[in-house]
Amino acid sequence: MQIVHYPHPALRWKSKPVTEISAELRADVARMFELMYEAKGVGLAANQVALPYRLFIVNASGDPELADEELVFINPEIMKRTGSEEGEEGCLSLPELYGQVRRAEEIVVEAFDLSGVGFKMTLDELGARVVQHETDHIDGVLFVDRMTDIARRELDGPLDDMEGYFRRQQEAGKILGDEELKRQLRDLETK
């Protein structure tokens, strides 16, 4: 398992609801936390590791020593959004790219945890931003899609460079072609 980078097809995949919390899923979540901390992140969605499932993890502190701040959101739904504020975002699948994104100031989210227990949380500040960002991921939406057209154009060059690098890796046989990657995602959906 590894974090996939733009323009990997998993990043545009509308993820499938989780129907069973298995030992394999728990192991995937544990590995996702390891990868998130290695990459110095605060959130990671399943499709960022090429798993087409509606789940993501968050530790807004970004500190692996603060395990009590680790949250797992399975089949999350944002039920309410209040206010609006702009803030800088980045993404582990778009390394070293940052941009201003407008998000709700406060949200109410419902989800299930890794034990299958439903919960409801009201979040603001960084927690609200991270949950909105990760919820977008499982819907196949990237933070650059939420930027203004003018701000987004400033990232066109770096995005083109990322895509060029990805395609060269595919041509060299280091990354599978898009159709094979999509087939893998479809196969995982039927598990």
Q: Which residues are part of the catalytic machinery?
A: 134
- CA angle 18/46/119 to nearest 5° reads 55
The torsion angles phi and psi of 32, rounded to 5 degrees, stand at: -60, -40
C-alpha–C-alpha distance, residues 56 and 49, integer Å: 10
C-alpha–C-alpha distance, residues 39 and 176, integer Å: 23
- 44 by DSSP, 3-state: which? strand
The torsion angles phi and psi of 155, rounded to 5 degrees, stand at: -100, 0
C-alpha–C-alpha distance, residues 28 and 51, integer Å: 9
117 membership: H or E segment, kind and range? none
- CA angle 165/170/175 to nearest 5° reads 105
